Amino acid sequence: MKIKLEYGAGGELMEEFIKEFILKNLSLKSAGGVGLEALDDGATIPFGDKHIVFTIDGHTVKPLFFPGGDIGRLAVSGTVNDLAVMGAKPLALANSMIIQEGFDSGDFERILQSMDETAKEVPVPIVTGDTKVVEDKIGIFVITAGLGVAERVITDSGANTGDVVLVSGTVGDHGIAIMSHREGIAFETELKSDVAPIWEVVKAVADAIGWENIHAMKDPTRGGLSNALNEIARKSNVGILVRESDIPVKPEVRAASDMLGISPYEVANEGKVVMVVAREYAEEALEAMRKTKRGKDAAIIGEVIGEYKGKVILETGIGGKRFMEPPIGDPVPRVC
């Protein structure tokens, strides 16, 4: 068997690949808290009355510089966001860079400066790292790891029947912006990636309603909104009903999606959070999101139901219902 591109694309094939090869061949997979087998956005290590949260991510976007961001901003944001959706305040990042021989030094500096600017937004220091230069024609790969601390760990498996589902802004921006850029699709207003750290949004909601009333969170990167919702539904053993009319999608994203034959629900977002909260705190959570810079387009998009356990139901704009299936793989390759 040969490893395929789809095995790293964030959909069902990647999950099957991880279970069949990675989990099966590793024996020590937990440090006392959430471990590798949970397949969450990070792992946790109990530390007194708090929890250390640890995560790592590799970034291979093509092109390296795209409307709204670049691989440096993507790397820092992605790692910060994986910590944030587990309820962890980011403490420090590590950065490993694998660089092709002959890579332009000006582009390399530009990537580092972008990482620095993004880290200062959080703020979180980049405290250690590693650099390799190789002959392979890879351009540059950026691997970032992050440490955070959480008073209460939030997983993607804590949704309860009756809870409400929110998203912190418009979906599909990142994946569709990159694909449109590749295909040369132009709009009057340039379509840009949403890539950004979301700790501010998560903390604002926690400050408003308390960590205990946030029941599940997910960073809807590879596989997009659809994959994130399906993971929460499956791991929580609940159904999720979302209303298409309530899911915020920019008109340019919708138009580009139609042209490209891609669903905006299935492509990566790099500056959004899907959050499941107790019903009685839903409006407060929404208000808190909308007061932040990154959450002004936040919306309540659905609810957790007792039927259709492990499935996501999409109520269409004309009143019909269908399953929102998780993607097999990301339809837009090399975007995160």
Domain that holds residue 221: 164-323
Q: Tell me the three state secondary structure of residue 108.
A: helix
- The residue among 224, 247, 227, 229 whose CA lies nearest residue 297 is 247
Residues 200, 124, single domain; the answer is: no
Total domains, the chain: 2
Q: Which of 26-30, 143-147, 214-218, 325-329 has the lowest mean pLDDT?
A: 325-329
In-domain check, residue 159:
no
Residues 237, 280, single domain; the answer is: yes
Residues 105, 222, single domain; the answer is: no
Q: Tell me the three state secondary structure of residue 116.
A: helix
Contact of 214 with 276, CB cutoff 8 Å: yes
pLDDT at position 331: 72
**Percentage of the residues of the chain whose pLDDT score is greater than 90:** 86
The CATH number assigned to the domain holding 35 equals 3.30.1330.10
Give residue 16's identity as a one-letter amino acid code. Answer: E
The CATH number assigned to the domain holding 192 equals 3.90.650.10
Out of 87, 119, 150, pick the residue that ends a domain: 150
- What is the rounded average pLDDT of the residues 154-172? 98
Residues 121, 44, single domain; the answer is: yes
Which pLDDT band, with edges at 50, 70 and 90, does 187 fall under?
low
Complete DSSP assignment for 66-106: ETTEEHHHHHHHHHHHHHHTTT-EEEEEEEEEEEETT--HH
Digit-coded pLDDT (tens) for 257-281: 998 889 999 999 999 999 999 999 9
Out of 150, 182, 214, pick the residue that ends a domain: 150
Residues 169, 142, single domain; the answer is: no
Out of 82, 115, 150, pick the residue that ends a domain: 150
pLDDT at position 188: 55
Complete DSSP assignment for 280-304: GGHHHHHHHHHTSTT-TT-EEEEEE
Q: Model pTM?
A: 0.96
